[in-house]
Structure 1
Amino acid sequence: MSAVEKAAPAATTPAIGQAYGGGFVTGITRDPATGKRSLHITAGAAHELVGAWGKYGEKIEGADSFTNSRANTEAMAAAGSELAQKVLALDIDGFTDWAIPARDVQELQYRHFKPTTDDNWQYGRSGDNPHSEPVGLLYSEQDPAQTAHIGFRDGEPEAFQQRAYWSSSQRSANTAFTMYFDDGSQGGSAKVYELRVRPVRSVLIEA
């Protein structure tokens, strides 16, 4: 089922953490190029994958968006990324439009589903998310706090592991953006490293 085929009416937008569309509602971003709003849905922990982002030293055209997870992932797959190809092949509850989350979509995963009570990383631009609604601000020591959503806390079945996860947003020919789910630090890693991915799908929201 394509997210483009049907848009979710704003009046019925489900709540963060609600089971919906094959996963769990994660948040909303607005695309900087089109102005369109998207609702993002995170797959359950059983659907996590592990692999390399791609080839070191290869710049992939079309994998640079901070909000369009699907476009990034399709560009990765076309360039030969086995990890991206596996994500695109997922069928979860009849939904087949899964992707590796773009950087600002991934930030929402940590903001709303932070697994631990540990202090957050407070350096660089971790937490800065100009495309989310509401706009994300730099993390403080205790904000975001451990998630309030049952199932996503450390030790529970849907919890993110305290490891680095790939985003689909390319940083350079050598690196792509990552997020560490132990403290929320956002940075970059060499594309050849084998890291985790928690897939997402995105649904357009009517204005």
Structure 2
Amino acid sequence: MTKQAQQTVLAAELPERGQPLAGGVFVTRYWLNGVERALILLPDELSGQWGEYGVEIKGAGSYSDGEANTRAMAESGSVIAVKALELDGFIPSCLEGQLLMAAKADGLVELREDRWHWLSSQRSAYDAYDMVFVGGWLSGNAKDDERLARPVRSLPIQ
């Protein structure tokens, strides 16, 4: 029998930002597609290519919905996207990456500063967004470059 991941969280049961929640660290509350959600940084660190250079992935262009982007990436064969989904998480979008940077700047989470991290938001057939957490720099790089990814989880708040 496998353990099923938590699917929702009650507003009254949310911990303070930076405290444990659902297998990770509670980053912040945010709104996505009309639903208030809790963003959780998972402890895992993945490494790999975003995808194939020159191939545009339909459904991976959202600036805000990292889960939808990651599912589209996985369907196209992205190894790091598949690994993130196997952890019951996903690669953060540009918006979710900026929320992680804000939590890091507030001293609530630790993120590596020595490497660029993939975000799930596709920029073009050739590039995807990435971020370095030393100063929150957002950039676009070739999808076939090797980068880190820190999966997150997002739970609807009830």
TM-score, normalised with respect to structure 1: 0.69
Choose which of 130, 140, 144 in structure 2 pairs with 1:192. 144
Whole-angstrom distance in 2 between the partners of 1:171 and 1:159: 23
| RMSD after superposition | 1.7
Distance, in Å, in 2 between the alignment partners of 1:72 and 1:48 is: 18
SS in 2 for 1:105: helix
Distance 2:134 2:5 in 1: 33
Which structure has the greater CA radius of gyration? 1
Q: How far apart in 1 are the matches of 2:61 and 2:29?
A: 19
* C-alpha separation in 2, matches of 1:22 and 1:88: 14
> Does residue 148 of structure 1 match 2:139?
no
| Whole-angstrom distance in 1 between the partners of 2:113 and 2:137 | 14
Paired residues, number? 155
Q: Secondary structure at the match of 1:71?
A: helix
Superposed, 1:104-123 pairs within 5 Å as: 104-114=95-105
CA separation in 1, counterparts of 2:19 and 2:63?
Answer: 24
Runs of 5+ consecutive residues of structure 2 not aligned to the other structure: none
Q: 2:36 matched to 1:37?
A: yes
CA displacement, residues 113-160 of structure 1 (integer Å, 9 cap, x when unaligned): 14xxxxxxxxxxxxxxxxxxxxxxxxxxxxxxxx433xx4xxxxx442
Where does the alignment leave 5 or more consecutive residues of structure 1 unmatched? Answer: 91-96, 115-146, 153-157
Q: Which amino acid aligns with 1:190?
A: A
For the 8 Å contact 2:111–2:133, the answer to whether it is kept is no
Identity of aligned residues (%): 38
For 1:8, the equivalent position in structure 2 comes to 9
Aligned-residue offset at 1:2: 5.4
Q: TM-score, normalised by structure 2?
A: 0.89
Distance 2:74 2:128 in 1: 15
Superposition misfits of 4+ residues, deviation over 3 angstroms? none
